[in-house]
A = this chain, B = another copy of it.
Amino acid sequence: MPDTPEPLDAVQLGAYFALMEVAGLLRHAVEQQLREAGDLSYVQFQLLARLGLDSPTGRERMTDLADGVVYSRSGLTYQAGLLEKAGLVTRTPSADDERGVTVAITDAGRALLAKVLPGHTEVLRHQLFAPLSRRDTEALAELLSPVRDHMRSAPPRSAAPRRRR
């Protein structure tokens, strides 16, 4: 058995537990709103938001979507299938690479996103931002961004060794 490494101190433990609890409670609240307002899971919302808000063209390849949403390949196939069945996205073979599949958000997908967003915003305002000042929010974003970048670069991600586009 290896020697016990330096254990975490109280401040670190506090930050860790607070982070996980806040994110867990927030996700719970948000998921409820998404389910009621649009019958969407959080992951499905993430996929729609990525296509409808982040991506300028509204279309992305499966692999690139997976890199953002953290998934096994099969999990993404499953969710994309659900979204397609609901008419919120389409899946077509990629133009340049015959192996690839391009997922595109539909008008119905954009409409649902728009329908769901105001309530989503309200939940965030009440649950997350209410106790945070403007500067707090800025500080939080500035603290977490480097962590996110760090984690993205050392991916315990979806499946096997993956590669950026």
B150 contacts A11, C-beta separation under 8 Å: no
Rounded to whole angstroms, the CA-CA distance of A148 and B28 in the bound complex is 13
**In the assembled complex, how far is the CB of residue A34 from the closest CB belonging to chain B, in whole angstroms?**
13
Specify the main secondary structure of chain A where it touches its partner. helix
Task: List chain A positions with a Cβ less than 8 A from chain B.
Answer: 2, 4-8, 11-12, 14-16, 18-29, 32, 70, 117-118, 121-122, 124-132, 136-141, 143-152, 154, 156
Residue of B nearest to A32 (CB): B156
Taken together as a complex, chains A and B put the C-alpha atoms of A118 and B120 apart, in Å, by: 38
| Inter-subunit contact B140/A25 (CB<8 Å) | no
Query: For A7, what are the chain B residues with a Cβ–Cβ distance below 8 Å?
Result: 117, 121
Give 11 new A-B contacts, CB below 8 A, not counting A8-B129, A18-B140, A23-B24.
Answer: A4-B118, A15-B140, A16-B124, A19-B144, A20-B23, A21-B70, A22-B144, A23-B27, A29-B156, A127-B154, A131-B149
- Shortest distance between the CB of A118 and any CB in chain B (Å): 5
What's the Cα separation between A139 and B147 when bound, in Å? Answer: 14
Supply 11 A–B pairs (Cβ within 8 Å), ascending by A: A5-B122, A6-B121, A8-B129, A11-B138, A12-B124, A21-B148, A29-B156, A127-B151, A127-B156, A140-B143, A140-B144
